[in-house]
Amino acid sequence: MPRLHRREFLKNLALVLAVRGLHAQPLPPRQIVPGVWFLEGDASKGYCNNILIEMRDYLVLVDANYPGRAHELLQIIPTISRKPLRWVFDTHAHRDHAYGNSVWTHAGATTLAYKSVVDEMNRWEPERWRATAAIRPDVRATGEQDVQRPEAVFDGPRFTLNDPGADGRVIEFLFLGWAHTPGDGFVWLPKERVLCTGDAAVNGPRNKLFDAWITNWPRVLDRALALQPLHVLPGHGSSGGAEILTGQRDFLLNLMRGVKAQAMQGLKPDQMHIHMKGPAANWVPTNPTSWRQDIETAALEIESGKPAGANPHVWK
Ligand SMILES: [Zn+2]
């Protein structure tokens, strides 16, 4: 881009972001079922969604978010419930879900994740932390050089928290397989049929596929669908029902099918055009660069014969 145009572009972008920032009204916490609140993150700040779950004597938070949002939530949570926050669950290792970890442990909570979240952090950090700190004041302000690893991890398919008594709340932390990342954890409330998905299912074109196993991801979503959730609370975008899981799944299936067919015709990723019909079209990135990246990532998985995320790659 010529220098002048680029400067103009950046000025306009800054203006757009500033106006959006001025008008961005944080959505109020929304109670999904008694004792479960959905706290939608401000997408213009890169924040993910959070879910607050009230147990008999304590609170559980789904995702650590970025440090900036973690500090906001430290103010918001006591206005919802005065119980102490005991657990913060990282659904996966990505920065917008886990970089707030140290904020929560300093506040007295214990961070928890599926074990592969730590493996992922050990694989990619502290490079991603450093790159993010260079562009995000809230990460820089921690004064830390690396993401704090979750303090507690579970291995195997399930870790359960139970309130005492037959009518007490049950929370299941589930690992259903490698989908968006090798460490995706779901949070399932079997009595209320509420499912928190992290980025294994987002509502709309709000995902990156770099660390994914795109071929396995729909199988993971089928396992999630088999739970028959009434409420699906995604890592990004608004809440809904099982249609979030089927939409995310069909987008991935159509993407792989389309890329495979065009690769067979000898087309390179930058020559491919994938058309998505029906509800799955809602997951197609509106930004052409992001859509191109999705196609390239799918092509990489097909060509390499292994999960896209298992190939060396950089976060873009
Ligand atoms: Zn993610």
Of all residues in the chain, what percent carry a pLDDT higher than 70? Answer: 92
Alpha-carbon distance 47 to 100, whole Å?
A: 11
Alpha-carbon distance 239 to 262, whole Å?
A: 34
How far is the centre of ligand 1, averaged over its atoms, from the C-alpha of 119 (Å)? 15
Residue-wise pLDDT for 4-13, tens only, equals 454 454 444 4
Domain ranges of the chain: 23-242
User: What residue type is 33 in one-letter code?
Assistant: V
Strands in 194-198's sheet, in edge-to-edge order, are: 158-162, 170-175, 185-189, 194-198, 231-234
pLDDT surpassing 90 at residue 186? yes
Distance in Å from the first CA to the final CA of the chain: 19
Q: Give the per-residue pLDDT at 87.
A: 98
The three-state secondary structure class of 181 is coil
How far is the centre of ligand 1, averaged over its atoms, from the C-alpha of 188 (Å)? 19
How far is the centre of ligand 1, averaged over its atoms, from the C-alpha of 311 (Å)? 17
How far is the centre of ligand 1, averaged over its atoms, from the C-alpha of 94 (Å)? 5
Using DSSP bridges, classify how beta strands 185-189 and 36-39 pair: parallel, antiparallel or unpaired: unpaired
Mean pLDDT of 149-166: 96
How far is the centre of ligand 1, averaged over its atoms, from the C-alpha of 180 (Å)? 7
pLDDT surpassing 80 at residue 114? yes
Residue-wise pLDDT for 264-293, tens only, equals 999 999 999 999 999 999 999 999 999 999
Instruction: Using pLDDT thresholds of 50, 70 and 90, give the confidence band for residue 26.
Output: low
How far is the centre of ligand 1, averaged over its atoms, from the C-alpha of 108 (Å)? 25
pLDDT surpassing 50 at residue 77? yes
- With CA atoms as reference, report the closest residue to 253 among 285, 290, 214: 214
What's phi and psi for 291, nearest 5 deg?
-65, -40
Instruction: Give the bridge partners for 195, in sequence order.
Output: 188, 232
How far is the centre of ligand 1, averaged over its atoms, from the C-alpha of 235 (Å)? 8
Residue with tokens 């294994």: 200
Mean pLDDT of 52-62: 98
| Structural Rg of the chain based on CA atoms | 20
pLDDT surpassing 90 at residue 305? yes
pLDDT surpassing 80 at residue 113? yes
pLDDT surpassing 90 at residue 135? yes
Q: Give the per-residue pLDDT at 13.
A: 45
Mean pLDDT of 237-252: 98
> Full-prediction pTM beyond 0.75?
yes
Neighbour tally for 9: CB within 10 Å: 11
User: What residue type is 14 in one-letter code?
Assistant: A
Q: What is the mean pLDDT of the chain?
A: 93
How far is the centre of ligand 1, averaged over its atoms, from the C-alpha of 268 (Å)? 27
CA 83-101-171 angle, to 5 degrees, is 50
Q: Give the per-residue pLDDT at 314.
A: 86
Position with higher pLDDT, 313 vs 15: 313
CA 98-104-123 angle, to 5 degrees, is 30
pLDDT surpassing 50 at residue 1? no
How far is the centre of ligand 1, averaged over its atoms, from the C-alpha of 199 (Å)? 5
Residue with tokens 């050089």: 145
DSSP 310: G
pLDDT surpassing 80 at residue 62? yes
Q: Is the Cβ–Cβ distance between 275 and 238 less than 8 Å?
A: no
How far is the centre of ligand 1, averaged over its atoms, from the C-alpha of 7 (Å)? 31
Alpha-carbon distance 150 to 68, whole Å?
A: 18
How far is the centre of ligand 1, averaged over its atoms, from the C-alpha of 191 (Å)? 27
- Give me the CATH code for the 23-242 domain, please: 3.60.15.10
List the shell of residues around ion ligand 1, using CB closer than 5 Å: 94, 199
How far is the centre of ligand 1, averaged over its atoms, from the C-alpha of 106 (Å)? 24
User: What residue type is 49 in one-letter code?
Assistant: N
Q: Give the per-residue pLDDT at 223.
A: 98
- With CA atoms as reference, report the closest residue to 123 among 92, 167, 157: 92
Alpha-carbon distance 269 to 258, whole Å?
A: 11
Residue with tokens 């055009």: 273
Q: Give the per-residue pLDDT at 25.
A: 59
How far is the centre of ligand 1, averaged over its atoms, from the C-alpha of 207 (Å)? 7
Q: Within a 13 Å sphere around the CA of 189, how many CA atoms are in the beta-carbon half?
A: 27
Measured in whole angstroms, the distance separating CA 12 from the mean position of its chain's CA atoms is: 29
